[in-house]
């Protein structure tokens, strides 16, 4: 093993060990979790998973909720961000610079501070306990990043292209649909994944907007599982929940690693 391999192993250990510990705990009986003396062969169980899937509401419901909400937020964000990004690029240079600074400021903003006003909003517009309504704040919160990434993509296109299409007599919608959007597809894919991840993982707004247990998203459900047990060490069930909740993301990251990296690359350059 050379030096580099050693470093790589250390890196993987640091990144994965906490999750591996969860994986092991999720298959360990409650008795064995608190007693190292339990013989090796008697330590293992599937009870935590069975409990999780037979609870009310069953755990997959939260996964479903999060997936639905994250997808809706992604679609809404992209639908708003593409025309807006195109519009931004068309603005006079001076305006573009100002709006880009503002948008970067919004992207930096610690959005958790918005929860109280957003709670008031939810109450007065009667949006509380409605899963899909959460897509509205989620889109707004993802827009700054989406705009930064997509304006960068539009700016990367040769300007003559749009003008040539215009000369051909194509309307704005046609140009977007047939020329521009296909060309920025890679950037759009990266943006979509980042937005999806944000919406999937968001906690404070979901915490204040949802209170019915069948509506909860995964992060809120996880936090609620934390407090709702009578046992002082209910970590077997938590661990099982962690494993089930991590699987979709593991898949996502493995599939889209390249898009995530390139997405942040573009954003970093321009932002």
Partner 1 sequence: MTIGRRTLAALLGLTLLFSFGLAWSGQRQIQRVNILMPAPFADATAELVQRFNRDHRGSIALRVTRGPRDTESISDLAISSLLLGSPPFDALLMDVTWLAKYAAAGWLEPLDSYFEPQEIDALVAGARLGNHYDGVLYRWPLIADVGLLYWRKDLMEAPPRTPDQLSSVGRRLMDDGAVNSGFVWQGRQYEGLSCDFVEMLSAFGGNWLNPQTGEPSLNSSEALEAVGWMRSLIRDGISPKAVTNYSESESLQAFKAGDAALMRNWPYAWAELQKPDSAVRGQVGVTLMVHNAGHQPAATLGSWGLSLLKGSDHPQAVIEAIRFLTSPDAQRERFRNQGYTPTDRSLFRDPEMLELSPILPDLEQALTHAVPRPPTPLYAQLSDVLQRQLSGVLTDDLAVDQAMNKAQINSMTIVEAAGGAS
Partner 2 sequence: MTWLLLTPALLLMALIFGWPMLRYAWLSFHANSVLTGLVPVANGGANWMRLLADDRFWQDVLQTSRFALVSVTAELFLALLIALLLDQRWRGRGAVRALTLLPWALPTTMMALGWRWIFNTPYGPLEAVAGFVGLGPLNLMASPQWTWLATVVADVWKTTPFITLILLAGLQTIPADLYAAFRLEGGRSIQALRDITLPLLLPYILLSLLFRLAQAFGVFDLIQVLTGGGPAGSTESLALYAYFNAMRFLDFGYSATVMLGGFLLLSLSILLGALALRLSGALRPLQP
Contacting positions for partner 1 (CB under 8 A): 119, 122-123, 126, 128-129, 207-209, 211-213, 224, 226-230
Nearer to partner 2, 114 or 183 (CB): 114
What's the token pair of residue 168? 């051909």
Nearer to partner 1, 123 or 159 (CB): 123
Nearest-approach distance from CB 83 to partner 2, in angstroms:
4
Per residue, what are the HEC states of the chain?
Answer: CCHHHHHHHHHHHHHHHHHHHHHHHHCECHHHHCCCCCCHHHCECCHHHHHHHHCCCCHHHHHHHHHHHHHHHHHHHHHHHHHHHHHHHHCCHHHHHHHHHHHHHHHHCCHHHHHHHHHHHHHHCCCCCCCHHHHHHHHHHHHHHHHHHHHHHHHHCCHHHHHHHHHCCCCHHHHHHHHHHHHCHHHHHHHHHHHHHHHHHCCHHHHHHCCCHHHCCHHHHHHHHHHCCCCCCCHHHHHHHHHHHHHHHHHHHHHHHHHHHHHHHHHHHHC
Nearest-approach distance from CB 170 to partner 2, in angstroms:
14
Among partner 2, partner 1, none, residue 129 binds (CB under 5-8 Å by kind): partner 1
Nearer to partner 2, 99 or 183 (CB): 99
Among partner 2, partner 1, none, residue 186 binds (CB under 5-8 Å by kind): none
Nearest-approach distance from CB 238 to partner 1, in angstroms:
13
Nearer to partner 1, 27 or 209 (CB): 209
Among partner 1, partner 2, none, residue 65 binds (CB under 5-8 Å by kind): none
Nearest-approach distance from CB 7 to partner 2, in angstroms:
6
Nearer to partner 1, 157 or 222 (CB): 222
Nearer to partner 1, 82 or 206 (CB): 206
Nearest-approach distance from CB 85 to partner 2, in angstroms:
9
Nearest-approach distance from CB 33 to partner 2, in angstroms:
6
Among partner 1, partner 2, none, residue 52 binds (CB under 5-8 Å by kind): none
The C-alpha atoms of residue 210 and residue 208 are separated, in whole angstroms, by 6
Among partner 1, partner 2, none, residue 211 binds (CB under 5-8 Å by kind): partner 1
């Amino acid at each position: 093993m050379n030096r580099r391999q050693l470093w790589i192993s250390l890196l993987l250990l640091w990144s994965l060990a906490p999750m591996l510990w969860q994986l092991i705990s999720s298959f360990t009986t409650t008795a064995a979790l608190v007693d190292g003396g339990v013989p090796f062969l008697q330590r293992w169980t599937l009870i935590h998973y069975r409990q999780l899937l037979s609870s009310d509401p069953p755990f997959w419901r939260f996964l479903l909720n999060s997936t639905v909400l994250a997808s809706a937020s992604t679609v809404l964000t992209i639908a708003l961000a593409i025309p807006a990004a195109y519009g931004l690029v068309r603005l006079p240079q001076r305006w573009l610079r100002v709006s880009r600074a503002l948008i970067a400021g919004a992207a930096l903003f610690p959005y958790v501070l918005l929860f109280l006003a957003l709670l008031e909003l939810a109450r007065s517009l009667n949006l509380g306990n409605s899963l899909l309504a959460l897509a509205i704040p989620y889109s707004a919160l993802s827009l700054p990043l989406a705009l930064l990434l997509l304006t960068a993509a539009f700016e990367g296109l040769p300007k003559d292209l749009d003008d040539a299409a215009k000369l051909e007599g194509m309307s704005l919608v046609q140009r977007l649909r047939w020329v521009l959007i296909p060309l920025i597809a890679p950037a759009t894919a990266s943006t979509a994944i980042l937005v999806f991840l944000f919406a999937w993982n968001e906690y404070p707004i979901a915490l204040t907007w949802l209170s019915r247990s069948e509506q909860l998203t995964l992060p809120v459900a996880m936090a609620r599982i934390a407090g709702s047990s009578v046992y002082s060490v209910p970590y077997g069930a938590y661990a099982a929940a962690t494993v089930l909740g991590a699987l979709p993301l593991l898949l996502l990251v493995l599939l889209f690693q390249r898009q995530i990296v390139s997405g942040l690359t573009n954003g970093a350059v321009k932002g």
